Amino acid sequence: MSSKEKESMQLLQGTLDLIVLRTLATMGPQHAYQIATRLQQISDRLLNLNQGTLYPALMRLEQYGWIKGTWGRTESNREAKYYEITKAGQKALKEETQDWRRMSALVERFLLEEP
Amino acid sequence: MKRLRRIFVKFYLLFANSKVEAELAREIGAHLALLEEEYLRQGMTSEDARRAARLAYGGVEQAKQLHRDERTFQGLGQIPQDIRYTLRQLRRSPGFTVTAILMLALGIGATTAIFSIVEGVLLRPLPFPDPDRLVILGDEGSHCASCTQSNVTAPDIRNYMRDTQSFSHLGGYRQRLFELSGAGDPAAVNATRMSGEVFAALAVPPVLGRTFTQQEDEEGQQVAVLSYDMWRSRFHGDANVLGSKILLYRKPYTVIGVMPRDFEFPLNPGNVRQSELWLPLSLQPEEFTAGSAASWNSRMVGRLKPGITVEQAQSDAERVAQATMRDYPAYMRSLRIHAVVTPLHEDTVGQARPLVRTLLFAVIVVLLIACANLAGLLLVRAIRRRREIAVRLALGVRAATLLRQAIVESMVLSITGGVIGLALAAGALRVGISLLPQTLPRVDEIGLDWPVMLFALGLALLTGFLCGLAPAFAAIGTSVNETLKEGGRTGTSGSGHARLRSALVVAEIAVALTLLTASGLLLRSFEKMRDVKLGFRPDNTLAALYVLPQQRYATQSAIDEFTRTLLNDVGQLPGVDAVGITSFLPAAGNSWNIAFTIEGYVSPQGAGLNMAAMSLVESDPFEALGIRVLRGRVFTESDNAGSQLVAIVNRKMAERYWPGQDPIGKRLRRGMPETSTPWMTVVGEIDDVKLESRDAETMPQVYQPVTQTVTSEGVFAKPGELSAADGWIILRSRMAPEEMQDTLRATVRKIDPQLPLYQMQTMEHAISTSEAPRRFNTVLISSFAIAAVLLSVLGIYGVIAFSVALREQEMAVRMALGGQRSEVILLILSSGAKLAAVGCGLGLLGAVATSRLLRSFLFEVSPFDPSVLSLSAIAMLLLALAASALPARRASSADPMLALRGE
């Protein structure tokens, strides 16, 4: 594993949690496939992500107590695990969003200063 | 907060692993099904849809692994699984597993057994409360230049006890053989006469009754304290033993107490001379006069007062020693002493330390070689499994996981080996303790106790961890792409690993050679010792000690009557060729050195006293022992109390004091020049007799008729002193000496039914006992050396065989291109020889480095003995070559066509 790949993974990790939370907050309960599809739609397929890599993020969020997974059925009557944002998750989303905004604004400011 | 919650969840999931795994699999399955459905809807065939779904999802196993890494504490949760995995792997290669475990079991077992000796003898505190405060006080000086321990005289005991201030308790003691009767068969028992203060200093309470006090000691009360063993064996553990009477040399003593089972004092080397009885020292008036005042035949033990150091106690005692010297009678004027205070622990174990250290060193060498071999074997496995490891790395296994698995594998082996090793050590100790030399103190405390078990376990864990590191890093270093691309080819890869293995083997050979040299030097010493002339012929000779109790043999005429009857009766037994009595038995190591004044001989400045070993003889022990008479004559009946005083000297004595002259007719006398003693005339010169073991230095020796002892002692003689009350009766027979034992016993019983014979033994047995310590060192170190050499040869075989297996193709190509078989053989042999040569070079350096440790065990052999060093190195090289010859032959017999087609 080269060091370059490692870096991009790390960068992704913090943001992936936020994106998943945000998706669940706006779209209601979703299963992993739906979340992945949604990510691709929003990112205009720029974010080329193996769908499997979503799982650690989902599990992490569940362990924090921010989302909760329950088994349910899709429209086509297939079983799937639906994730739903919890109250703690709502709160965390607010904080994380603020953090992210502050951070990206900060980074933006640095980038603007470039001649 | 969220972190804390996560830690709990993660910890919980350690135990709910299978449930979560199933859930994960179900979720991934559902996900894939949904993806597939989507692709089907887009109009793909079901085959294509499934493939597309997989592609979109990415690696299922990698996702699972990522999930696992996130969800719980990685290492911990996986260890049970790692162990299962390891067991599965090991079952698949039983040959490797058994070899590895046995190797470790031997290494750990031997190390544990030796460590239990180190622990019992050297490390464990002495079995007394506050043992660090106990010290031995004694004199060193001109009276005894070659003494190994510091002793005191009877006046010293009185003076030190009265005049020192550094000790809360201080007392003297002296070990002696006593004839015990009045309870069961008469027997010889080891007893210790000691001041009442000694019990107070040792501070160990009795299990039954009480110990005696200093006051009882001074009053001369006849009381006895029994050892636990004595109480159990002779008195059947009867609690009513207190108050009963026993006879010691036929004088009654009252039993007042029994000491606990583990009480041992004095702490003698070996386990045969342990004290079975403790009696008051009760010094008699005559012990302060004449010769007794100049006999350093006792020792002193004390407990330091709180806050007093050993140095302070020593200067305090030195003051008393100076005063003692000022008060010396005229005949002791030239003696110089100074006081020495030694911690009791040091006094007890100091002598045993070099032996125990050497053993530990040897056994650790064996263990290191076993470890290096195991690491080598594991490394080979790691190299063989490179493809498997590459595949696993490709599937997302992390490096830490591989490291953990390698170490778990090695630890499973080492702990199994450790447990088997512990069992081996227990077995070895059961047999081995009886074989330990009698020069080792505290042998009863050797055993597998908790510290030893912990040591073995710790050793197993450490071994496993260290051995696992090499293959672990080899596994991590595997390059996925390279290995998988290589396909089926088993090229000459992993040169880094090969270098590591070679280094291991070189190190093995080096340490094995060091040990082999040590063993060679010891064997050579043993051989040299066996070449030393004893000065007597030990075949067909039987000896036994008797001590006549004063109660019954109170007059010189009673003693003489007994001796005359004994010599006469034994001399008339059928098959007896010669009989004699001597005060000290050759080879028994109990000789007695006294000072002599030689007429016309001026000692060089600062040479000290003229010491010689003194033996008192009766009849003709020279003939019975087969000692050669070089000049003059032996003693006859007419050399008696009334005639001219005569003496026989040995060759060493004659050469030292009358070099180049005939010693016959020269005169010498007992004591120092200022002592008034009568002259004795030398009438004979005999061969040098080994009174101690063969490897001990021969002292100048003087022999005297026992009947002339009292006269020759002059002022040393006590009033009413008796002579010849004890002695070794020695007989030479035409029959095997073992067959004479019962006859001799019966003869003595006929003269005095109550008199026991002690230490009856053939002279061959006496010699074998005196050689036992050296034999023990030699056998043990040699067996370690053999183990080390075998293991290292196994190591070099492993390396060469494996490199041959890897280079089979290369060899086939060489041969297909016209290479000769002999060239192939030479190629392999030379790679083995190279390793061996480097190892031998280092090993010789190691031998030089360890020479200091070994020097004290060598006898007339230099630690750099060129023949031993070169022979060991040549043997090691040849063995290494032999070990490489087998794989070399295999390589050369490879069929070129088969090998080429094989790919």
Per-residue DSSP letters for B606-664? Answer: T---EEEEEEEEEE-HHHHHTPPEEEE----TTSSTTS--EEEEEHHHHHHHSTTS--T
CB spacing of B28 vs A52 below 8 angstroms: yes
Residue B675, pLDDT > 50, answer yes
Domains of chain A: 3-112 (1.10.10.10)
SS3 B327: coil
The number of C-alpha atoms within 13 Å of B769 and in the hemisphere containing its C-beta is 19
- The pLDDT tens digits of the residues spanning B558-580 come to 999 999 999 999 999 988 999 99
SS3 B278: strand
| Gap from B410 CA to chain A (nearest CA, Å) | 27
Residues 43-62 of A with CB under 8 A from B: 50-53, 55-56, 59-60
* pLDDT tens, residue by residue, B480-533: 666 666 554 444 455 566 777 788 888 888 888 888 888 888 888 888 888 888
Indicate if the pLDDT at residue B271 is higher than 90.
Answer: no
Give the count of beta carbons closer than 10 Å to the beta carbon of residue B490: 18
- Taking CA atoms, what residue in B is nearest to A79? B30
Do residues B595 and B614 make contact, with C-beta atoms less than 8 angstroms apart? no
A95: chain B residues, CB-CB within 8 Å = none
- Predicted pLDDT at B648: 95
How many CA within 13 A on the CB side of residue B828? 34
**Cβ–Cβ contact A18 with B under 8 A:** no
Tell me the C-alpha distance between B472 and B407, whole Å.
Answer: 7
Pairing of β B680-686 and β A79-85: unpaired
B59, A64: Cβ pair inside 8 Å? no
Alpha-carbon span B474 to B497, nearest angstrom: 7
The larger pLDDT score, comparing residue B184 to residue B774, is at: B774
Q: What is the pLDDT of residue B126?
A: 84
Q: What's the pLDDT tens digit per position in B238-249? A: 888 899 889 888
> Percentage of residues in chain B with pLDDT exceeding 70?
92
Per-residue model confidence (pLDDT) at position B721: 79
**Residue B408 burial class via C-beta count within 10 angstroms: exposed 0-12, middle 13-18, buried 19 and up:** buried
Q: Is the pLDDT of residue B64 over 60?
A: yes
Asked if residue B200 has pLDDT above 70, the reply is yes
Q: Compare B149 and A2 and report the one with higher pLDDT.
A: B149
Residues of B with CB under 8 A from a CB of A: 2, 5-6, 9-10, 24, 26-28, 30-31, 33-35, 37-38, 56-60, 62-63, 66-67, 69-71
In this predicted structure, the answer to whether residue B686 has a pLDDT above a threshold of 60 is: yes
pLDDT-derived band at B279 (thresholds 50, 70, 90) equals very high
Average predicted confidence (pLDDT) for chain B: 84
- Give CA angle at B593 (B737, B588), nearest 5°: 25
Residues of B with CB below 8 A from A74's CB?
Answer: 34
Max mean pLDDT among B299-303, B756-760, B845-849 falls in B299-303
Q: What's the one-letter identity of residue B513? A: L
What mean pLDDT comes out for the span B579-606? 82
pLDDT (tens, 9 = 90+) of chain A, 115 residues, equals 333 343 334 345 567 888 888 888 888 888 888 888 887 777 766 666 677 778 888 888 888 888 988 888 888 888 888 999 999 889 988 988 888 888 888 888 888 875 5
Per DSSP, the three-state class of B850 is: coil
Chain A residues inside the 8 Å CB shell of B34 = 31, 33, 74, 78, 80
* ipTM of this predicted structure: 0.79
Predicted pLDDT at B633: 93
Nearest to A32 among B2, B6, B31 (CB): B31
pLDDT bucket at B438, cuts 50 / 70 / 90 = low
Domain residue limits, chain B? 2-72, 77-129+350-488, 143-335, 494-530+771-903, 549-754
Q: Which is higher by pLDDT, B607 or A12?
A: B607
Confidence of residue B311 (pLDDT cuts 50, 70, 90): very high
**What is the pLDDT averaged over residues B111-126?**
81
CB contact under 8 Å between A78 and B57, yes or no, is no
Residue B75 vs residue A38, higher pLDDT? A38
Distance CA B650, CA B632 (A): 12
pLDDT band at B49 (very low <50, low <70, confident <90, very high): confident
Tell me which residue of B563, B596, B558 sits closest to B580, measured CA to CA: B563
Question: Any idea which of A59-73, B143-157, B305-319 has the lowest mean pLDDT?
Answer: B143-157
Distance from CA of B484 to the nearest CA of A (A): 16
Write out chain A residues lying below 8 Å of B11, CB-based: none
Strands A67-73 and B245-248: unpaired
Which pLDDT does position B692 carry in this prediction?
Answer: 80
- CA atoms of B856 and B353, how far apart (whole Å): 11
B72-101 mean pLDDT: 77
In whole angstroms, what is the distance from residue B149 CA to residue B136 CA? 10
Tell whether A80 is within 8 A of chain B (Cβ): yes
Q: Which span out of B361-375, B712-726, B859-873 was modeled with the highest average pLDDT?
A: B859-873
pLDDT tens-digit map of B157-186: 999 999 999 999 999 999 888 888 776 777
Predicted pLDDT of residue A11: 43
| B210 pLDDT more than 70 | yes
CB spacing of B27 vs A33 below 8 angstroms: no
B141 phi, psi to nearest 5 deg: 155, -155
